[in-house]
Amino acid sequence: MLTRSALSLVVITVAGLSAADQRNPFKGLQIGVGAGLFFPTNSLMKDIFSDSIIAYNIGPMTANRNGRRGFGFDFNGQGLQANGSSFFMLGLTYGYEWQSSEVDSDNRLFYARVGAGPTYLDYDINSPANGVVSSARRFNAMGALEAGVVLSNRITLSATYTLMSKHDGLDFSGLRVQFNFAAFKL
């Protein structure tokens, strides 16, 4: 279920953005993979997924953030699987990004971003010990605060806090520390 949803959204996103005008708001969009740790803020989510879990993503990203200073769109996504439960999220946020004035001599670029927007959720929580057995596919609202460093045109290290609305008594908000590698640019 999780992989099928993730791949479907990636294919739809790539097809839609590839056909878009060059002046689209997704300047610099790349497709790649990411991995890191996710620290849920909700105690129930900590019990279901453990205190910190490996988070992964595949799909649209902006590892090379050069020229993205100011207002604009960004993607935020992740997938989690642990103890028979799974969660997938892909959000589109609109917000403001601050960047260090220029790329330094080692080609590093520091940035911070704040944004909000809609997100697609696909979750299957199977935790009878915690009194939760719930499954849904729905749209939700989210907010995101992110800070990171671009190490090259393809590699980014970042920390992102996502805040999401609760559904079915579940709160998927938390802090993600992540490494992204962009495979190719649209």
Q: Report domain extents, the chain.
A: 2-185
Contact 112, 147 (CB under 8 A): yes
Instruction: Record the tokens describing residue 69, joined without a space.
Output: 């200073």
Q: Can you tell me the distance from the alpha carbon of 64 to that of 143, in angstroms, rounded to the nearest whole number?
A: 22
Instruction: Record the tokens describing residue 58, joined without a space.
Output: 């595949």
Instruction: Record the tokens describing residue 140, joined without a space.
Output: 């939700």
Record the pTM: 0.75
| Sheet strands (E) in 13-131 | 30-40, 53-61, 70-82, 85-99, 109-127
Please list the pLDDT of the chain residue by residue as tens digits (186 residues).
444 444 444 444 444 444 343 445 555 677 888 889 989 898 888 888 876 688 777 776 666 676 678 898 887 878 888 888 888 888 999 999 998 866 555 668 889 999 999 999 999 988 877 788 888 999 999 999 999 998 887 888 999 999 998 888 888 899 999 998 888 776
Q: Can you tell me the distance from the alpha carbon of 115 to that of 30, in angstroms, rounded to the nearest whole number?
A: 19
CATH code 2.60.40.420 for 2-185: no
